[in-house]
Amino acid sequence: MSARSWPFLLRPSDEPSPGDWATSAKGTRVRFADGLEAFCATSGLWNVPLGYGRDEIADAVSEALRDASYLTLFRRSHPLAEEAAERVISFTGMPFSRVLHATSGGAANDLVMKLSRQYWSIEEGMPRRLVVGLRGSYHGLTYGAHALSGDELGQAVYGVDGRDVRHVPFDDGGAALEALCRREGNRIAALVVEPVLGSGAIEVPADFLDAVQRLRAQYGFLLVADEVATGFGRTGVRFASSRWMPHPDALVLSKALTNGACAASVVVVGERIATAFDRHDALLVHGETQAGTPSSCAAIVATLDLYEQLDVDRLFPEVIAQIDRLEERLVGHPRVIGVAGRGAFRALRIAGRTSASTEPGGTEPVGASKEEIVELVERIRRAGAIVHPGPSVLQLIPAAISDSADLDRLGDVLCDVLDEQDAA
């Protein structure tokens, strides 16, 4: 067996050949080893909304590495960490007061679980240990985040500890959450909500969020917005949770935080949590060696500068309008049996190859299998566009700098490939 890297989320038998490896990326284009160039309609893993290869971010990281290749946040801080924290809080437009640095969305969600449980320990002197997530949610694959994720992701195989985690549906107007609160409300530390679920691009309905706020006022649990996937304009506003009233107690950010340039995430914390830790002079036992390094903080600052300079608050709505038109074009295709998502985070639900097939005794077409979706994604890449697989869906998550030619071409590719499969 030759020495090589182990790609994520692939069976050994599915590993691509070296000719299919991505070798470079610039703007909205990714080039592969065999010479193929494709429009990236996923903006990386939706973490590169400003386009690949931004010199402004690379220059800032390079300067930081030369000034101080490494500085720690263990028991101290440094100027770039403080500047990044100040800039992030200001950019959210919400009344947050502290920033905890981490290295990934999963690590940040682990941190949220620890933080919320300790908050109740110091405030009430007794544990509230339950952390509640949504069915179908995705929060990462580190140990705590893996338990919090509401998708079936092999949690039992890995011995993930879900004893202090609960999951509730989001499409019942909050009825299941209310029932859980009646049973265990005095044990619930926090509810963690993605405004749009990362796995299937399904928007959490307003009636559920209304119920959350009512139950939050009644039972006191912390509300955490996981905007790793949806932040920085992806849904049409900077942060979807900025419209939640009252605002969340904490906000989890990663991905677009550095435009994909560095392994960085943050937990942005409101006064309720920060004041409690200050009042009790409580020690949060957490730390990551590579969290908040000068290079990652420089990338955060440079990325936020670019958001302002490029006027992403204007760019994303323009892209969203083009996606609306693309969706209208595709929704009549016999293989497209539904759409989901919000803003520039969309999904097309794809019928199985025999589009007339229905569930036994039902009238709804059967969604495409995982194998069919994976095959479609590869066919689309070969035709010149990159989309992301989901449960019976193709996810479309383009960059803010995508232009009309990009998205028109994406529509052509999708129609051509779906027509080919439909004919087959």
- Closest CA relative to residue 229, chosen from 96, 300, 138, 146: 138
Is residue 216 in a domain? yes
Is residue 103 domain-shared with residue 194, that is, in the same domain?
A: yes
Look at residues 310, 341, 362 and tell me which one is the last residue of a structural domain. 310
Is residue 151 domain-shared with residue 240, that is, in the same domain?
A: yes
Look up the CATH number of the domain holding residue 372: 3.90.1150.10
Whether the Cβ atoms of residue 260 and residue 399 lie closer than 8 Å to each other: no
Query: How high is the pLDDT of residue 424?
Result: 57
- What whole-number distance in Å separates Cα of residue 322 and Cα of residue 378? 24
In single-letter form, the type of residue at position 43 comes to: S
Is residue 211 in a domain? yes
- For residue 385, give its domain range: 311-423
Query: How high is the pLDDT of residue 363?
Result: 63
Is residue 382 domain-shared with residue 289, that is, in the same domain?
A: no
Provide φ and ψ at 196, rounded to 5°: -130, 125
Query: How high is the pLDDT of residue 171?
Result: 96
Look up the CATH number of the domain holding residue 244: 3.40.640.10
Is residue 282 domain-shared with residue 358, that is, in the same domain?
A: no
Is residue 339 in a domain? yes
> 285-323: string of b/e by CB count within 10 Å (b at 16+)?
eeebebbbbbbbbbbbbbbbebbeebebeebbeebbebb
Reading the block at residue 203, the tokens are 């928007």
Is residue 23 in a domain? no
Is residue 412 in a domain? yes
Is residue 146 in a domain? yes
Is residue 302 domain-shared with residue 322, that is, in the same domain?
A: no
Lookup result for tokens 């992301």:
388
Is residue 259 domain-shared with residue 278, that is, in the same domain?
A: yes
pLDDT in tens, the chain (424 residues): 577 888 898 888 888 888 899 999 999 999 999 999 999 999 999 999 999 999 999 999 999 999 999 999 999 999 999 999 999 999 999 999 999 999 999 999 999 999 999 999 999 888 899 999 999 999 999 999 999 999 999 999 999 999 999 999 999 999 999 999 999 999 999 999 999 998 889 999 999 999 999 999 999 999 999 999 999 999 999 999 999 999 999 999 999 999 999 999 999 999 999 999 999 999 999 999 999 999 999 999 999 999 999 999 999 999 999 999 999 999 989 999 999 999 999 999 999 976 544 455 556 789 999 999 999 999 999 999 999 999 999 999 999 999 999 999 999 999 999 988 766 5
Is residue 182 domain-shared with residue 290, that is, in the same domain?
A: yes
Query: How high is the pLDDT of residue 298?
Result: 98
Is residue 331 domain-shared with residue 368, that is, in the same domain?
A: yes
Query: How high is the pLDDT of residue 361?
Result: 53
Is residue 269 domain-shared with residue 355, that is, in the same domain?
A: no
Full strand arrangement of the beta sheet holding 29-32: 22-26, 29-32, 37-40, 385-386
Query: How high is the pLDDT of residue 423?
Result: 62
Is residue 78 domain-shared with residue 181, that is, in the same domain?
A: yes
Look at residues 264, 281, 310 and tell me which one is the last residue of a structural domain. 310
Is residue 35 in a domain? no
Q: What is the 3-state secondary structure (H, E, C) of the chain?
A: CCCCCCCCCCCHHHCCCHHHCEEEEEECEEEECCCCEEEECCHHHHCCCCCECCHHHHHHHHHHHHHCCCCCCCCCCCHHHHHHHHHHHHHHCCCEEEEEEECCHHHHHHHHHHHHHHHHHHHHCCCCCEEEEECCCCCCCCHHHHHHCCCCCCCCCCCCCCCCEEEECCCCCCHHHHHHHHHHHHHEEEEEECCEECCCCEECCHHHHHHHHHHHHHHCCEEEEECCCCCCCCCCCCCHHHHCCCCCCEEEECHHHHCCCCCCEEEEEEHHHHHHHHHHCCCCCCCCCCCCCHHHHHHHHHHHHHHHHHCHHHHHHHHHHHHHHHHHHHCCCCCEEEEEEECCEEEEEEECCCCCCECCCCCCECECCHHHHHHHHHHHHHHCEECEEECCEEEECCCCCCCHHHHHHHHHHHHHHHHHHHHC
Is residue 354 domain-shared with residue 306, that is, in the same domain?
A: no
Is residue 234 domain-shared with residue 289, that is, in the same domain?
A: yes
Q: What is the 3-state secondary structure (H, E, C) of 224-235?
A: EEECCCCCCCCC
Lookup result for tokens 């101290």:
76
What is the tally of structural domains in the chain? 2
Is residue 286 in a domain? yes
Look at residues 310, 334, 361 and tell me which one is the last residue of a structural domain. 310
Whether the Cβ atoms of residue 233 and residue 312 lie closer than 8 Å to each other: yes
